[in-house]
Amino acid sequence: MTRAPANLLAVRSFLLTHLNVDPDVSRPQDLEPDEVGIVGDAQHLGGYHCGSDRVVDGDYSVVESTRDRSGLTLDASAVDVGMFTVAAGGRTHDLRSFSVWCVGECAAGAADTRDIREIIYSPDGRVVKRWDRLGKRSTGPSSHLTHTHFSFFRDSTKAGRDQTPLFRRYLTTIGLIQGDDMSAQAENEIHQVYVGLFSGGNSMGRKVDPDGTGPATASNSLVAKLDYTMLRLDAAIAQLTALSNKDFTDEQAIVAGVLATLTPEKIAAALPPTVAKEVADEIAKRLAA
C-alpha cells in the first residue's frame, strides 16, 4: 500500500506550521492540511504520488530516470501545495510567487534542489507550466492552476533525505521566519571544502611537503599541494633559464675528437692530388725552416 514517507511528511508539517497561520480556523489565506498532499487518492494510478503498488506500465515516474528506477519503493515521492497568501517583509507572498521562486532556484542549480525532478505550477492562475530537470515536458494538467506539484527523485525518498531546506530557505528569504537561510546540507558541503582546502583529509590523496626541510609541514590539503606545485614549477623554470643561457658548444673538444679519428692514410686519401702536392710542399718548407 502506497505510503507517505517521513521526509515528505516533514515537508508537509513544516509548511503547515508556518503557512497555516490560524490552525483553528479554515480560511482562504491559510494553507490548510487538506491542501498539502503526498499520497494520491484511491483512483490515482501512476506518477510520483504512487508507490510501487500503484505505478503503471511505462510509468514516467519510474522509467525516465535511473534515480527513480533504483529508488522505487512503496513510498510516494511528491508533495502538492495549495493556495495561500501571507504578508512578510513588507510584501504579500502567495502560491504563485512561491512557485516561481522555487522554479528559479531549481533552474539555478541550488544545492537544496538537486533531488527535485519537476515542479508543475501556474505563475498567473491561467497557464500551467512545468519545470522538468530531465527536460521531457513543459506543461501539465489544468488542476495545477490551483496547486503546485513537487516531484522528488525516488532514490532521495528511499534514502530519507531531508527535503525541508529549500522551503525553509524560501520562508527565511521572504522574512516570514528568522534564522540561517542555508540548509544543513549546504553548510556541510562548505565545511568539507574548507577542510579539504586548508587541512586535507582521508580522501585527499598523498601528502606533500611544500618546502622540504622548511617550516611548512607535510599535508594533503589543496593549499599544501598548490604550494608544492608552485615551488617545483619555480625551480623548473630557474633550471630552464640557466640552461638556455649556457653555451653547450666546446669547439676544442670537437676538433680533438675529429683529429683523433683521422690517420695520415685517411688524410692523404681524402686530399685531391693537386692539394696533396701543395700540402707536401708546404710541409717541406716548414721542415726546412
Q: What is the pLDDT of residue 275?
A: 76
Nearest to 223 by CA among 192, 200, 190: 200
Q: How far apart are CA 99 and CA 110, in angstroms?
A: 15
Overall average pLDDT of the 132-145 stretch = 97
Q: What is the pLDDT of residue 264?
A: 74
The torsion of the CA quartet 25, 27, 31, 36, rounded to 10 degrees, works out to 80
Task: Give 214-226 pLDDT, tens digit per residue.
Answer: 777 788 888 888 8
Q: How far apart are CA 228 and CA 51, in angstroms?
A: 53
3-state helix, strand, coil split of the chain in percent (to 5) is 45, 10, 45
Task: Give 101-119 pLDDT, tens digit per residue.
Answer: 999 999 999 999 999 999 9
Q: How far apart are CA 169 and CA 179, in angstroms?
A: 9
| Global confidence as pTM | 0.65
CB of 31 closer than 8 Å to CB of 23: no
For residue 191, is pLDDT > 70? Answer: no
Question: Which residues have a Cβ under 8 Å from the Cβ of 137 and sit 6 or more positions away?
Answer: 118, 130
Single-letter amino acid code for the residue at 132: D
Share of the chain above pLDDT 70, in %: 95
Overall average pLDDT of the 263-276 stretch = 76
Q: What is the pLDDT of residue 108?
A: 96
Overall average pLDDT of the 41-45 stretch = 89
Kindly list the distances between the CA atom of residue 99 and the CA atoms of 128, 130, 266, in Å, as whole numbers in the listed order. Answer: 11, 11, 96
User: What sign has the CA pseudo-torsion 107, 113, 118, 124?
Assistant: negative
Place of cell 653547450: 248
Share of the chain above pLDDT 90, in %: 59
- 180 pLDDT band, cuts 50/70/90, is low
109 backbone φψ class: left, alpha, beta (φ>0; ψ -120 to 50): left
Overall average pLDDT of the 224-235 stretch = 85
Helices (H) and strands (E) in the chain, counts: 11, 7
Q: What is the pLDDT of residue 103?
A: 98
For residue 60, is pLDDT > 80? Answer: yes
Q: How far apart are CA 62 and CA 45, in angstroms?
A: 13
